[in-house]
Amino acid sequence: MNILDQIIADKRSEVLLKKSIIPITQWEQSVLFGRECTSLATALRTSDTGIIAEHKRRSPSKGTIHQGTNVAQVAKGYEDAGACGISVLTDLKYFGGALEDLLLARAAAALPLLRKEFIIDEYQVVEAKAHGADVILLIAAVLTRNDIKTLSELAKSLGMEVLLEVHNQEELENAIMPGLDMLGVNNRDLKTFEVRLDTSTTLSEQIPDDFVKVSESGISSIAAINELKAFGFQGFLIGENFMKTAHPGKSAAEFIQKLRV
């Protein structure tokens, strides 16, 4: 069993436990559940940088990145830096995140928030809405086409947007469908953790212009972003490059300033 299979097996157990403790109706009564979402797709289309800055404490591939971080300070720092949106890891076991991180980020910043999670169940979509998320991530590698359709339709019915993540041509062909807002190409193979930026450039021409193209993982230079822009990418998800520093918001500000030059 590879790490991705293990994560999904654990996630199924986690969701089953949560369902037995907190009914979905409780999330639907949350104060934030009725909040009108902010469009990340629109922000990316109209931005001159396209940066989605991520809050991530650790990962299976890198270990601890920034364990003692204050998510509210990081979120506010990213907003002040000029990011288009904020990605918040909510998986606890493998990434050190929590749903509460979404709440804290939502309280600190008005930017669109992406719930970065291994979403496999409609329960998690409702959770995301109840905790202030504007966008959910769906990972093609762990979902069937019918799963993607069901989960994306629920998200859209709740006013949220959907970022679909693919890693190769097979996933792209199997998963692409109306109702998605953004197509993310993850340059990191979730089974081997190898990172190759040409994953994005290779798949770019096969992504219709109806979708905002987002490149994820392994982006650490202005040159990489400029190259990806030439292939039609408008969004760039960056986490480790900012989070590994003492002040992620400051690092993001410096990076975005250079990008605008």
pLDDT digits (tens, 9 = 90+) for 184-223: 999 987 777 788 899 999 999 999 989 999 999 989 999 9
- Domains of the chain, residue spans: 3-260
Distance in angstroms (rounded) separating the CA atoms of residues 168 and 190 = 11
Per-residue confidence (pLDDT) for residue 64, from 0 to 100: 77
Residue numbers of the chain with a pLDDT score lower than 70: none
Per-residue confidence (pLDDT) for residue 67, from 0 to 100: 79
Per-residue confidence (pLDDT) for residue 2, from 0 to 100: 85
Distance in angstroms (rounded) separating the CA atoms of residues 10 and 244 = 27
3 burial class (0-12, 13-18, 19+ CB within 10 angstroms)? middle
> Which CATH number describes the domain made up of 3-260?
3.20.20.70
| Three-state SS at 30 | coil
Per-residue confidence (pLDDT) for residue 189, from 0 to 100: 77
Q: Where are the alpha helices (DSSP H) in 85-121?
A: 99-108
Per-residue confidence (pLDDT) for residue 86, from 0 to 100: 98
Per the listing, tokens 């199997």 go with: 174
**Residue 192 DSSP one-character state:** T
Per the listing, tokens 């989605």 go with: 52
The catalytic residues are 54, 56, 116, 165, 186, 216-217
Per-residue confidence (pLDDT) for residue 127, from 0 to 100: 98
Per-residue confidence (pLDDT) for residue 207, from 0 to 100: 94
User: Do residues 33 and 27 make contact, with C-beta atoms less than 8 angstroms apart?
Assistant: yes
